[in-house]
Amino acid sequence: MRVLVTVMSLIWMLTYDLNAYAGSLSAEQVNGVYDLAKPERSAAGQTQELLIQLGEHQGKTVIATAGCERCPPAIYSLMKQESSELQRAVFFNSMGVYLISYDDNTLVSVMADGLLGKKVWQKIAYINVYRKRGTPGIELAAAKTFVISESKRMITGEGVEKVAVTGGSGHYYSAARYQINGTSYDQFALTVEAEKAVLLEGDKCRSCTSDRFIYEPELSLAIGKPVYEMGHMGRFIIEESKGVFLYAKAKLGKALWGKNSHFNLFAQDPIYVRTISSDKNMQQEIDSQLASYAQLAKNAVDEHYRQQDAERTASNELPMQGLKDEKLQQQVLNAAKQRADKESWNESILNAYIRGNDWTILRNKLTGIQTGRYIAGVIVMQREDGLCSYQSVHFAQQYNGADYQQAYVYSIDSGQEKLDCSKVK
């Protein structure tokens, strides 16, 4: 159907030349004068009747309603997904009002306490019944029961057309809106490259960019599910089951699931998504499952680091001694012990020695006069965990113009290197 509509058009001047699908409705069935169960305001004042016509406006299937032939029409757009699932035409306008087809001759106008498909309606802010003139229609009480029942069907899936769940790449729905490049979506084209990547792109977006998640083999092995991460940003997608992916914003492998961790869900079955969105117990189960995954991931990563650390410790050797001077040797050992006592190190000092072979001269930056010298060294320690370690440092001596003074610890490099105590002489 092709119908040209402008806000200033008379509703009866709509023209069409084809057959639009809108649930089970057709223009022939819809177009006409409708009586209202209760009066409504219009541009012409209170009215007990509406002119209603099905057509097309700006490429969308719409229903236009007007209180008089010269009144500007209200435009309701067809909700294709909801209409397909409920197998009845559902329209929606920018004011938050739905038009739901009850039968071929009756429409129910309703504004409720939530979006259709997001919750079971409990509070009806407004409801009216539009019945085609000369047909029986239904009472307001029956209409209220009807729309609440339809909102429940959207959540529970009772009597709703089922979506084929194939898994892998396809069309997915999210439990909460998800943002890509500054735009939020609740439907997506999700592409799976098994054990390589998952791409997430907003449905029907223009000039689209996609979020790309790269396969993480270590985490996947840890939790027993394929895990993909987006750019080391703490954003993960887990292939939970056929046609279901969990999104986790957390430090998987680095920390446990906590109060700052968040999740979303992507699934091919919109009914399952709606059920999750409205069921606190199911949400808690997912949260608990992700907490379990986070524990498994952290255990695996911690164990990996422990193994790496053990291998590095086993292969570590003390650096070779450089400059040998018995008097200086005692000075650097004393200097190491003094530094450890001053800063209350947990380790016990076993030895200290010079590693370098040449001194570097220290000079006053303004005058260039020599003020001292420093050289690379090593401090050897006994740790509380039973291992030994060494710390790379620099020892220095001040110069008074004639003699070098007692050695002291000039600087300490970051990090200790652990090693087996049998390698400490």
- Answer yes or no: do 196 and 290 share one domain: yes
Choosing from 281, 310, 339, the residue where a domain stops is 310
Do 288 and 330 have their domain in common?
Answer: no
Sign of CA dihedral 121, 126, 131, 137: positive
Q: What is the pLDDT of residue 6?
A: 40
Q: What pairing do the DSSP bridges indicate for beta strands 417-419 and 388-398?
A: antiparallel
Q: Reduce the DSSP state of residue 50 to 3 states and report it.
A: strand
Buried residues in 205-243 as b, exposed as e (16+ CB within 10 A): eeeeebbebebbeebbebbebbbbbbeeebbbbbbbeeb
Average pLDDT of every residue of the chain: 91
Q: Per-residue pLDDT tens for 13-60?
A: 343 333 334 456 788 889 999 999 999 998 878 999 999 999 988 888
Whether 21 is covered by a domain: the verdict is no
Domain membership flag for residue 7: no
Distance, CA of 52 to CA of 291 (rounded, Å) = 54
DSSP class of 161? P
12 in a structural domain: no
User: Same domain for 302 and 330?
Assistant: no
| Number of C-beta neighbours around residue 23 at 10 A | 20
Beta strands in 58-205 (DSSP E): 60-66, 74-78, 90-92, 98-103, 106-112, 124-132, 170-180, 183-193, 197-202
pLDDT of residue 20: 38
Classify residue 95 by its DSSP letter: T
Classify 270 as helix, strand or coil: helix
pLDDT for residue 425 is more than 50: yes
pLDDT of residue 74 exceeding 50, the answer is yes
pLDDT for the residue 24: 61
Same structural domain for residues 304 and 352? no
How far apart CA 77 and CA 55 sit, in angstroms, is 10
Q: Which of 149, 147, 23 is nearest to 89 (CA)?
A: 23
Q: Is 83 helix (H, G, I), strand (E, B) or coil?
A: helix
Give me the pLDDT at residue 235, please: 96
**Alpha carbon of residue 344 to chain centroid:** 45
> What per-residue confidence (pLDDT) applies to 416?
92
* Domain final position from 133, 156, 179: 156
- What angle do the packed helices 280-315 and 270-278 form, to 10 degrees? 90
Residues 48, 96 within the same domain: yes
Structure tokens at 148: 């609440």
Tell me, yes or no, whether 361 and 288 share the same domain: no
CA distance 422 to 6: 90
SS3 151: helix
Average pLDDT for 151-175: 89
Report whether 184 contacts 178 (CB < 8 A).
yes
End-to-end CA distance of the chain: 93
Cα separation, 355 vs 336, in Å, equals 14
Once rounded to an integer, what is the mean pLDDT over residues 349-355? 97
pLDDT, greater one: 362 or 278:
362
Residue whose C-alpha is closest to residue 147's, from 109, 202, 201 = 109
Mean pLDDT computed over 153-169: 87
| Whether residue 2 has pLDDT greater than 80 | no
Instruction: Indicate the number of domains in the chain.
Output: 3
Residues 104 and 214 in one domain: no
Cβ 81 vs Cβ 88: under 8 Å? no
SS3 143: helix
pLDDT in tens, 303-351: 999 999 999 999 999 999 999 999 999 999 999 999 999 999 999 999 9
In a domain, 193, yes or no: yes
- For the residues of 361-411, what is the DSSP string, one character each? EEE-TTT--EEEEEEEEEEEEE-TTS-EEEEEEEEEEEB-SS-B---EEEE
**In contact, 189 and 201? CB cutoff 8 Å:** yes
Domain identity same for 101 and 199: no
What are the angstrom distances between the C-alpha of 400 and each of 327, 371, 405, 410? Answer: 19, 7, 8, 17
Q: Is 82 contained in some domain?
A: yes
Quick one: 44 and 85 in the same domain? yes
Residue 266 lies in a domain: yes
> Is 302 in the same domain as 332?
no
- Regarding whether 297 and 264 lie in a shared domain, the answer is yes
Q: Tell whether the model's pLDDT for residue 101 goes beyond 50.
A: yes
Q: Which of 244, 278, 310 is the last residue of a domain?
A: 310
Q: Is the pLDDT of residue 109 over 70?
A: yes
- Please check whether residues 146 and 180 belong to one and the same domain: no
Please indicate, yes or no, if residue 165 is contained in any of the structural domains. no
Is 210 in contact with 180 (CB distance < 8 Å)?
A: yes
Range of the domain at 187: 170-310
**Is pLDDT at 7 greater than 70 in this prediction?**
no
